[in-house]
Amino acid sequence: NNTNVPDFILTGLSDSEEVQMALFILFLLIYLITMLGNVGMILIIRLDLQLHTPMYFFLTHLSFIDLSYSTVITPKTLANLLTSNYISFMGCFAQMFFFVFLGAAECFLLSSMAYDRYVAICSPLRYPVIMSKRLCCALVTGPYVISFINSFVNVVWMSRLHFCDSNVVRHFFCDTSPILALSCMDTYDIEIMIHILAGSTLMVSLITISASYVSILSTILKINSTSGKQKALSTCASHLLGVTIFYGTMIFTYLKPRKSYSLGRDQVASVFYTIVIPMLNPLIYSLRNKEVKNALIRVMQRIWYVLGL
């Protein structure tokens, strides 16, 4: 009863048909690579016993989140680039729920992965004892539970909005900022609550990651072997690259007042963390990882043997 708007219209990324077709091809290619990369990562880790370690257990869930995260946004975006930009009211809020849920889950899971790397580098001899199966399950279950509650509260508050006349969402998916901008009521309280939820998620996960990597860097500097330092730094650099891109765009997009919302800038940032980053993560964690490459070779050899090739 809070709205006279039965559905929303997503403005998309461009009004030009040529640009829309180019974006459709680009996003479709990225989505296919995302699907292949993340599904491939999950299967390789599941099929190769040597990868049944805490680090790859977390990577399995990161790939699952990235796959789901991209699927929540990209297929609808692809459809909108070719057909109408309509999305139902319930469909819009469902998309928003899963988007917030999976985005927050990735934030906390990256924190769990940073802690795992901290234990592996700073306490290598105690690593098998500390990173027990029970702790690993807790470090994965926790992000899902906390993120679900976060997203549920977010959508409940957003459902209190009133939409009077306009149903044009100035974005290519149902995000909180453009939906807030569309409302015809005072959104100050809701905006404060959403900023508290988003800010606490980002800050808690960022503090955990920062503390872990400060300790990791301190330990790396004490390593006498040059090759050991290079190996550790290479692993940290890949992870930090993904973290920097993901958190940088999230902070740029959400931790600012509604009045500074800019369609162009926010859409570019949104493309990175909703479409591009889910594709990059499996590449970051596999192309420079010899264990994953060797596991892929072993899995392929096993398949060829079964098929008699």
Give the residues across from 3 on adjacent strands. 163
Q: Higher model confidence: residue 165 or residue 83? A: 83
Tally the C-alpha atoms within 13 A of residue 172's C-alpha that lie toward its C-beta. Answer: 30
Q: What is the mean pLDDT of residues 90-108?
A: 92
Q: Residue 242 in contact with residue 276, Cβ under 8 Å?
A: no
DSSP string spanning 86-155? EEEHHHHHHHHHHHHHHHHHHHHHHHHHHHHHHHHHHSGGGHHHHS-HHHHHHHHHHHHHHHHHHHHHHH
d(CA 175, CA 96): 6
For the stretch 57-73, pLDDT in tens is 998 999 999 999 999 99
Is residue 7 helix, strand or coil?
A: strand
Closest CA to 286 of 40, 32, 28: 40
The alpha carbon of residue 94 and the mean position of all alpha carbons in its chain are separated, in whole angstroms, by 17
- CA distances 195 to 20, 94, 154, 190, Å, are 32, 20, 10, 9
Percent of the chain surpassing pLDDT 90 = 32
Tally the C-alpha atoms within 13 A of residue 305's C-alpha that lie toward its C-beta. Answer: 6
Q: Is the predicted pLDDT of residue 263 greater than 80, yes or no?
A: no
pLDDT-derived band at 240, boundaries 50, 70, 90: confident
Please report which helix (H) or strand (E) contains residue 9, including its range. Answer: strand 7-10
Q: Is the predicted pLDDT of residue 47 greater than 80, yes or no?
A: yes
- Bridge-based pairing state of the strands 168-169 and 7-10: parallel
With b for 16 or more beta-carbon neighbours within 10 A and e for fewer, the 230-261 pattern comes to eebeebbebbeebbebbbebbbbbbeeebeeb
pLDDT-derived band at 246, boundaries 50, 70, 90: confident
The sheet carrying 86-88 orders its strands as: 86-88, 7-10, 168-169
Q: What pLDDT score does 293 carry? A: 75
Q: Higher model confidence: residue 271 or residue 75? A: 75
Q: Is the predicted pLDDT of residue 124 greater than 50, yes or no?
A: yes
Q: What is the mean pLDDT of residues 273-300?
A: 79
- The reported pTM is 0.88
